[in-house]
Amino acid sequence: MNRKIIHIDMDAFYASVEQLDFPALRGKAIAVGGAEPRGVVATASYEARKFGVRSAISGVQARKLCPHLIFVKPRFDRYKQLSMQIRAIFYEYTDLVEPLSLDEAYLDVTENKKGNPSATLIAQEIRQRIFLETGLTASAGISVNKFVAKIASDYHKPNGQKTVPEAEVQEFLDVLDIKKFYGIGKVTAEKMYLLGIFKGKDLRSKSLAFLERNFGNSGHYYYELSRGIHRSEVQPFRIRKSVGAEQTFAENLTSEIYMERELSLIAQEVVQRLQKQQVAGKTITLKIKYSDFSTHTRSKTLKNFICTHEELMEPLRELLYQDRLHDSVRLLGVSLSNLNNDPEHLPPSRPQYIQLKLVFPEE
């Protein structure tokens, strides 16, 4: 049975919330994030995007692109409050809601609570309700699977929507630049360009053997994407794959002793998140970003699940001193994956949790 999938994506969500709550910011170029030398833009208003300001760029670079840019500190509690209000609207139409973040989600409305056979009309109604109830705008993509719906939601931004019926999926993808394919990142796109793959039709013209030879295990995935094949269902309860935290430093670190001290603080944050999620993991990963912005990761998989600060720090020290650092360090990150919430780790007759060792601070 063909599915009816909607991808809802809020328009410049964090920035739009700030402009909603503070009318003086409306119509102005603003960036949510930090203006300091190590600050990063979380999101930018559409007025700022006209100057090239985008998420994930440094605050310094953003200021150079747009000298009159206004920086606003993020207020995540407020963003989460509105996100929950918007999500409540989704659940009035279907229980098959898969949130991707605070500002976007997939909805499967093949069978919906309103009995409306038109996914296009449902998306339009949801967008209208979001605006009336929150004052914020959203864009939507509607199609037969998550992959095409997500691409379509970006087609008429902001405050628009696009429907791609099954009969038009191939035509839609054929003329699309492959860098717009969800799942094909910047590095892969550049490699495809070198191989003469620029549009969806170019990708579709390549044999499965060619794609697997050049892209390994991802070759089959790209082969199917170019044909609009994407079997992933909307998952209302997404299993968390990892828990982590990272820190960008005001000044680069050159001493491993200082790095170990910072790793201890980051590990403590990870422990708090593990306790909140009631999970433990086996694979620990250390992320190191150097001053030249190159990023390296080091991982180790343990025999047993771990979840305490002491258990984290032992392998982290080992990973830190595993190889010599080739430059000063601007960011460190710690993540724990291979979690015990993965069904493959759970006997079918056992409840899906383990007792965690909780450490309480002294009074």
Cα 179 to Cα 194: distance, rounded to the nearest angstrom:
13
Tokens of 271: 């422990």
Residue 280 · residue 356 · CB < 8 Å: yes
Cα 136 to Cα 128: distance, rounded to the nearest angstrom:
10
Cα 125 to Cα 115: distance, rounded to the nearest angstrom:
13
Instruction: Examine residue 158 and say whether the peptide bond preceding it is cis (omega within 30 degrees of 0).
Output: yes
Residue 300 · residue 315 · CB < 8 Å: yes
Beta bridge partners of 295: 289
Q: At 329, phi and psi to the nearest 5?
A: -110, 130
Beta bridge partners of 329: 253, 290
Whether 104 is catalytic:
yes
List Cα–Cα distances, 218 to 61, 82, 224, 324, 334, in angstroms.
34, 37, 10, 32, 26
DSSP secondary-structure letter at 40? B
State CA 73 to chain mean position distance. 20
Closest residue by Cα to residue 97 from 233, 240, 241 = 233
State CA 363 to chain mean position distance. 38
Catalytic pick among 47, 98, 104, 311: 104
What is the chain's alpha carbon radius of gyration, rounded to the nearest angstrom? 23
Letter for the amino acid at 323? Answer: D
Kindly tell me the burial class for residue 226, based on how many C-beta atoms sit within 10 Å of its own C-beta (0-12, 13-18, 19 or more): buried
Active centre residues (catalytic): 104
